[in-house]
Amino acid sequence: MPETTAPVTGTILHLQRLSTEDGPGIRTTVFYKGCPLKCAWCHNPESLLLKPQVQWIGNRCISCDSCLETCDRHSLEKTANGIKRDRTRCITCGKCVQACPTGAMEMLGEDITVIDLANELVKDRAFFEKSNGGVTLSGGEPSLQPAFTLALIKALKDRGLSIALDTSGLCPPDTLEKLIDNVDIILFDLKLINELEHEQWTGVSNKHILANLLIAKERVQSSQNNKKLWVRTPLIPQATDHRENIEGIGEYLAQHMRGSVERWELCAFNNLCRDKYARLEKEWVFAETPLMSAGDLARIEMWAKDSGFDPERIFVTGAIRIDN
Amino acid sequence: MSTITTEKPRFTIKEPKLLSDRVGWLRDYFFQGVNRKWNNEYTSWTTGTPWDFQYNELSFYIVPETYFYIPTFRSSFKQTAKPVALHQDFWKWSLPERRAWFLKAVIVDYLPKEILPGDLLAGARFNVMISHCLTERETKEYDSLIYGKNGSRAAMLWFHNHGYGNAGATSGHIVPGYAQVIEKGWIAINADLKKYYEALSESDKKGSKGGQLRAMQTASTMARDLAKKYHKLLAEMAEKESEPARRIELKTMAANMARVPWEPARNFWEAVQSLWITHMLVMADENYPGPGVSFGRIDQYLFPLWESSLKNGMEREFGKEILKCFWVHCNTAYDAMIHTGGNQGITAGYGQLITLSGVGAAGFDMTNDLTYAMLEVIDEMTPILEPKPNLRLHRGTPEQLMDKVVEMIASSQGAPFLLNFDERSMAGMMLEARKTGVEHLINSTNVHEYAPVGCLENTMVGNDRSGTVDDNLNLLKAVELTMTGGYDMNPVVDALTGKPAKLTLDGADTGSPETFTTWEQVWQAYVVQTKHIIKRSVKLYEKSEAIRARFFQTPYLSCLVKGCAASGNDINQGGAELNFVTVEAVTYASTVDSLLAVKYLVYDKKVCTLKELIAALRENWSGHEKLQAIAVNKTPKYGRDDDVADRMAKQVMDLWTEEVWKYKTSSTNRQFRPGMLSWNYWISYSNILAASPDGRARGKFLSNAICPSNGADIKGPTANVNSVGKVMGGKALDGKGDWGEYFNVLPNGGSHTITFNPSIMRDPEHRDKFKAFLRGYIENGGSALQINMLNVDLLRDAQKHPEDYRHLLVRVTGYNAYFTTIGKELQDEIITRESHQMC
């Protein structure tokens, strides 16, 4: 069928090919831009805003001043600490990004059509097929761009690819239902079970998220095609890694989800995103937090396994601290 | 975090395991290197004439690091040569007869015969430099062809110094017909040779055919006569041996040597013994240890005797023990120049390659118990240098083998073997058959019998010499000549006088590039220059090929290669049934990226004019750093699964490969064929080749084999794999490729290396993903893959504390080396090379 309307576009950050941490098999993960939550530990701070942003990567800069010369808004300034951007003046026109010869000025977020994106995602089909993998829509939050996401899912299904939706769970219920009905795997984040803590750490209540989780259960259980639901909990030191939270989530899943959760993944804190915050001129409260130790993870795994949730379905992943 | 620097290595290095006292001792003894009492260092032998010499420099024309030493090698081997008492008729014989007789005399009568403690195989010394056996007149002719103004050496040096590449008729790189020796014995070869000789006409008997066949008959009894000597030694040792178990072993070994390799082997021990003696004498015949003299599908042709010996009571572990002794013997090839250089003589990339598993007739998988036993041997012996294993994967490879493969990769610093991919490889062999009209020798009923030699260079077995490392061409030189209209970008500076050479029109005259107004004009000039450099390179090769054909026969090896006896031609005279010379294109990705950069910078985005770009290249980017940064960072690159960039890559590939098929050697009628293996040339030529439009400054490494340029594959391993598969030909949309739906324009194959972070295999679930990655490679990738499993922290630690990492093995283009023994420059390169993070 020829396209009769303007092509649907969405804003994404980037694609991660040969991704092995976002669902079963080998996957290509689409990182969306824009997220309704503001998790204090967020590992992808560049994905928070829906609109594109520009960042400056100091170690790529060769001080050629091309960016300064090209900026007609005069929003850039050369300082002892590198190029500073006056974000009140900058209109994210991208001229400095184009002018930069080294990629030190980088645009975070690009608009892409469904067709272009689907054609890119299909390239690793052979690897998906051999591994029972596929495409994971992640972010950011895919449900923040529902029309684009639904069109993308359709395009990917037309190409015979398996699709996973990685969601924070915060979106209108009818959007979630539509998305779930069209994907094969749902990766549902459940970070904190206590509503107040959830609000404290992510900026929003978990009331709607928990309600949506029940919808997810219902849609998964009523689906004909062996849809899978995985719940994921980030293990953040001093935030989510305490006993009440882990046991609370486990109990909740055991009591309310009744076998619909194929896997509960506990993902250890990682600090590789530290520089991202600096580049976006943001503070990160976890900047000095070390990786968790093997002992920490073992303890958490024990709590999870004693929580009433099927221990066989619990997976702890992530980097651990190596002490000299 | 502690800041104390610990004395203990922070990381676990793969260690050998489960070795018996016997094998443990032999392995440790080998690694004592120069401190060993016994070694297999070259001995040199002369006819005693004043003009005599031993060193064959032609074999080293492809090793630029040795150029400086060539005169020294020739004189030092000559000086240390010991005389051999010649047969009274020696000088009446033809040259191949002289060489066959001389080598046999040295091997049988002059070299000491020794058995190392506990060893289960006989056959210790084989590294020899024997006389060229030339008369005074022949020597004069030879020398004028080598040293003359238009001689091979001057031509080779010119070619190298100007950055075109190198070429030389090189030894090895072949799978001799070992299977038939094991099965039928040398006695059968000897009988065949007699028949061929008797069938000659009287005049042919007097001519070169007669001489060659008489030489081969002499050579065909060398192994028998050597075995007799070892038999005697072993019988004496058994008599004196007081330890009963060892005594029985020695007696059995003596009995083995009384039989093989002259007669057919009857059990596994005899078979391995027959194979070893036969193999080591090939290396002796060529006066060069282990240059890709490869074993082929060893787990197939040894399997019947492995199976029957197991049935007849051989313990499986004892069978492995025999193999482990075989492994140690293969490593003694490295002793050749044990006192030369700082690395116990490990100066060159050897490659006695064994092939394991793979597809068989009608598509069945051929994995068997011996495949697994050999993998166990590798696992237990690793790290070890030789023999190099190459494991053939295909769509039907069983899960059990995949599991073993991934388990071994996971527990090693890098894959302890190379991986070959059958479907893609066989498509290339089928193309070769079609292109050159040898379908009667390579076709759908036998192409699965192919085996790689050296590292990954695909050939047929027992009848094929494909000269797989003989002609190495820098494609990037054609870009340089395009940018200058046929001149060197920068004059070659004489190393001694410091004087720059005058620039001359060495390339094709494609006119002043400043006048090019369209990309198409640039491309057309590139086409002309590519054709020009290929022509120059095959012409250069011809020089050493013709000299070797005339003055350096290897009658012993010729006995093991089908076609030589029937034609009465030595293998070095084109006697094999299948005769190819492989042009190995080097700097492929650098070339593609450079063309992409010219198109992007000058014509698509108009960042600069062609004139400005050429000025920047001439000045090695100095003062043009911004333009250089754009070239490095903003232009499209091969290796990212970007269809537009990869289309250019395919155009470059099709152009050079098609051109290569147009040539044959004139002296020996060998057909040129394309391949991509760059050994370490991407380093050696980095200082010689001028700055390139892809943003590379002179001195920065070039791209390696079929791999994307360093750091260019920012889309990760799957994108890298897809690009490689595409440029090799991809798959036919209608399913009608050259093998199944597969195409492969490189019958030799292309060397592909990917470095992974070890976290990719951290648990069973991830190991499954890695297995799937390999299965995906079978579908989308190239013909050969080498997996490096490096940890940057580990390498940095190893650089700082080499004493703690002596066993850290790294692999570079199928060439393995101990990390701490390679130069800092290369160490840095390995460290900076992108290590693909899978999480």
pLDDT for B378 beyond 90: yes
Whether residue A66 lies inside any domain: the answer is yes
* Residue count (chain B): 839
- Together in a domain, A43 and A176: yes
Within 10 angstroms of residue B426's Cβ, the number of other Cβ atoms is: 27
- Together in a domain, B418 and B393: yes
- Together in a domain, A114 and A194: yes
Would an 8 Å CB–CB cutoff place A14 in contact with chain B? no
B-chain residue closest to A101, CA distance: B630
- Together in a domain, B274 and B400: yes
d(CA B536, CA A34): 59
What does the pLDDT read at residue B804? Answer: 66
Q: What DSSP character marks residue B600? A: I
Domain boundary among B406, B433, B465: B465
Phi, psi of A229 (to 5 degrees): -125, 120
Mean pLDDT value of segment B234-251: 97
Range of the domain at B683: 469-711
- A289: closest CA of chain B, how far (Å): 12
- Best CA proximity match to B423, nearest among B384, B463, B396: B396
pTM above 0.90, yes or no: yes
Across the beta sheet with B128-129, the strand order is B82-83, B43-46, B128-129
- Best CA proximity match to B614, nearest among B483, B503, B524: B483
CA separation, residue B122 to residues B74, B111, B282, B599, B741 (Å): 31, 14, 16, 62, 47
Tokens of B716: 């990760």
- Best CA proximity match to B591, nearest among B487, B512, B474, B713: B474
- Together in a domain, A189 and A98: no
3-state secondary structure chain A: CCCCCCCCEEEEEEEEEEECCCCCCCEEEEEECCCCCCCCCCCCHHHCCCCCEEEECHHHCCCCCHHHHHCCCCCEEEECCEEEECCCCCCCCCHHHHHCCCCCEEEECEEEEHHHHHHHHHHHHHHHHHHCCEEEEECCCHHHCHHHHHHHHHHHHHCCCCEEEEECCCCCHHHHHHHHHHCCEEEEECCCCCHHHHHHHHCCCCHHHHHHHHHHHHHHHHCCCCCEEEEEEEECCCCCCCHHHHHHHHHHHHHHCCCCCCEEEEEECCCCCHHHHHHCCCCCCCCCCCCCCHHHHHHHHHHHHCCCCCHHHEEEECCCCCCC
- State the Cα angle at A238 between A234 and A239, rounded to 5°: 45
* CB-nearest partner of A126 from B632, B715, B780: B780
What does the pLDDT read at residue A323? Answer: 55
- Together in a domain, A73 and A194: no
* Contact call for residues A135 and A27 (beta carbons, < 8 A): yes
Between A and B, how many residue pairs show a Cβ–Cβ distance under 8 A? 88
- Together in a domain, B396 and B330: yes
* Contact call for residues B169 and B58 (beta carbons, < 8 A): yes
Q: Which residues of B touch A288 (CB under 8 A)?
A: none
- Together in a domain, B118 and B45: yes
Whether residue A65 lies inside any domain: the answer is yes
- Together in a domain, A206 and A297: yes
Within 58-77 of A, beta carbons closer than 8 Å to B belong to 60, 62, 64, 66
CATH code at A279? Answer: 3.20.20.70
10 Å CB burial of residue A269 (0-12, 13-18, 19+) is buried
- Together in a domain, B339 and B481: no
CB proximity list for B366: less than 8 A, separation 6 or greater: B297, B299, B300, B357, B358, B359, B360
Would an 8 Å CB–CB cutoff place A101 in contact with chain B? yes
d(CA B661, CA B432): 9
Domain boundary among B436, B465, B494: B465
Would an 8 Å CB–CB cutoff place A126 in contact with chain B? yes
Whether residue B2 lies inside any domain: the answer is no
What does the pLDDT read at residue B807? Answer: 58
* Contact call for residues B769 and A27 (beta carbons, < 8 A): no
- Together in a domain, B374 and B518: no
Buried b (16+ CB within 10 A) or exposed e, B283-309: bbbbbbbbbbbbbbbbbbbbbebbeeb
* CB-nearest partner of A17 from B633, B718, B760: B718
Q: What DSSP character marks residue B51? A: T
d(CA B707, CA B713): 9
- pLDDT tens-place string over residues B509-553: 999 998 999 999 999 999 999 999 999 999 999 999 999 999 999
- Together in a domain, A57 and A45: no
d(CA B479, CA B595): 7
- pLDDT tens-place string over residues B759-780: 778 789 999 999 999 999 999 9
- pLDDT tens-place string over residues B311-359: 999 999 999 999 999 999 999 998 998 887 545 444 445 789 999 999 9
d(CA B759, CA A218): 36
CA B576 centroid distance within chain:
19
Q: How confident is the model at residue B712 (pLDDT cuts 50, 70, 90)?
A: confident
- Together in a domain, A17 and A120: yes
pLDDT for B231 beyond 80: yes
d(CA A199, CA A239): 12
Mean pLDDT value of segment B192-197: 98
Would an 8 Å CB–CB cutoff place A294 in contact with chain B? no
Domain boundary among B465, B486, B517: B465
Sign of CA dihedral B738, B740, B743, B744: negative
Measured N-to-C along each axis, helices A173-182 and A207-222 cross at an angle, to the nearest 10 degrees, of 30
What does the pLDDT read at residue B817? Answer: 60
- Together in a domain, A98 and A168: no
d(CA B839, CA B837): 5
Whether residue B59 lies inside any domain: the answer is yes
* Contact call for residues B665 and B470 (beta carbons, < 8 A): no
Mutate to test the interface with B, among A21, A26, A116, A292 (most CBs of B within 10 A): A26
Low-confidence ranges of chain A (pLDDT < 70): 1-5, 321-324
What is the rounded average pLDDT for all residues in chain B?
Answer: 92
CATH code at A67? Answer: 3.30.70.20
Q: Which residues of A touch B773 (CB under 8 A)?
A: 18, 26, 127, 130-131
- Measured between its terminal Cα atoms, the distance across chain A in Å is 62
d(CA B217, CA B211): 10
- Together in a domain, A40 and A91: no
Proportion of chain B above pLDDT 90, given as a percent: 82
Whether residue B720 lies inside any domain: the answer is no
- Best CA proximity match to A121, nearest among A89, A152, A81: A152
What does the pLDDT read at residue B682? Answer: 87
CA separation, residue B603 to residues B370, B518, B640 (Å): 58, 7, 22
Whether residue B190 lies inside any domain: the answer is no
CA separation, residue A297 to residues A246, A301, A311, B335, B525 (Å): 12, 6, 15, 51, 62
CA separation, residue A289 to residues A63, A242, B441, B785 (Å): 33, 16, 66, 40
d(CA A231, CA A188): 5
What does the pLDDT read at residue B8? Answer: 39
User: How many Cα atoms are found within 13 Å in the side-chain-facing hemisphere of B52?
Assistant: 22
Taking phi over 0 as left and psi of -120 to 50 as alpha, with beta for the rest, B133 belongs to left
Q: Which residues of B touch A102 (CB under 8 A)?
A: 629, 632-633
- Together in a domain, B558 and B488: yes
- Together in a domain, B430 and B508: no
What does the pLDDT read at residue B826? Answer: 66
pLDDT for B835 beyond 60: no
CA A233 centroid distance within chain:
13
CB proximity list for B480: less than 8 A, separation 6 or greater: B163, B488, B489, B689, B690, B692
Proportion of chain B above pLDDT 70, given as a percent: 93
Whether residue A2 lies inside any domain: the answer is no
What does the pLDDT read at residue B829? Answer: 66
- Tally the domains of chain A: 2
Least confident of B34-38, B217-221, B643-647: B34-38
What does the pLDDT read at residue B764? Answer: 92
- Tally the domains of chain B: 2
- Together in a domain, B429 and B476: no
For tokens 């006389």, what's the residue? Answer: B131
- pLDDT tens-place string over residues B86-130: 999 999 999 999 999 999 999 999 999 999 999 999 999 999 999
CATH code at B330? Answer: 3.20.70.20
- Together in a domain, B438 and B499: no
- Together in a domain, A188 and A278: yes
Would an 8 Å CB–CB cutoff place A94 in contact with chain B? no
Would an 8 Å CB–CB cutoff place A308 in contact with chain B? no
- DSSP-based three-state secondary structure for B383: coil
Q: Which residues of B touch A133 (CB under 8 A)?
A: 769, 772
pLDDT for B813 beyond 60: no
Q: Cβ of A18 and B766 within 8 Å?
A: no
- Together in a domain, B434 and B479: no
Least confident of A186-200, B30-44, B264-278, B590-604: B30-44
pLDDT for B287 beyond 70: yes
Range of the domain at A32: 9-49+110-317
CA separation, residue A172 to residues A212, B37, B246, B488 (Å): 8, 81, 81, 67
Would an 8 Å CB–CB cutoff place A99 in contact with chain B? no
- pLDDT tens-place string over residues A244-281: 999 999 999 999 998 899 999 999 988 777 778 888 88
Give yes or no for a cis peptide into A308 (omega within 30° of 0): no
Whether residue A322 lies inside any domain: the answer is no
Tokens of A193: 């079970």
Whether residue B9 lies inside any domain: the answer is no
What does the pLDDT read at residue A224? Answer: 84
Going by their DSSP bridges, the two strands B451-453 and B457-459 should be labelled as antiparallel
Instruction: Using CA atoms of B744, B750, B755, B758 in order, give the dihedral in degrees to the nearest 10.
Output: 70
- Together in a domain, B527 and B485: yes
Q: Cβ of B839 and A17 within 8 Å?
A: no
- Which residues are registered as beta bridge partners of B339? none
- Together in a domain, A32 and A74: no
User: How many Cα atoms are found within 13 Å in the side-chain-facing hemisphere of B177?
Assistant: 24
- Together in a domain, A16 and A95: no
d(CA B795, CA A263): 37
CA separation, residue B113 to residues B40, B90, B226, B231, B246 (Å): 11, 25, 9, 10, 19
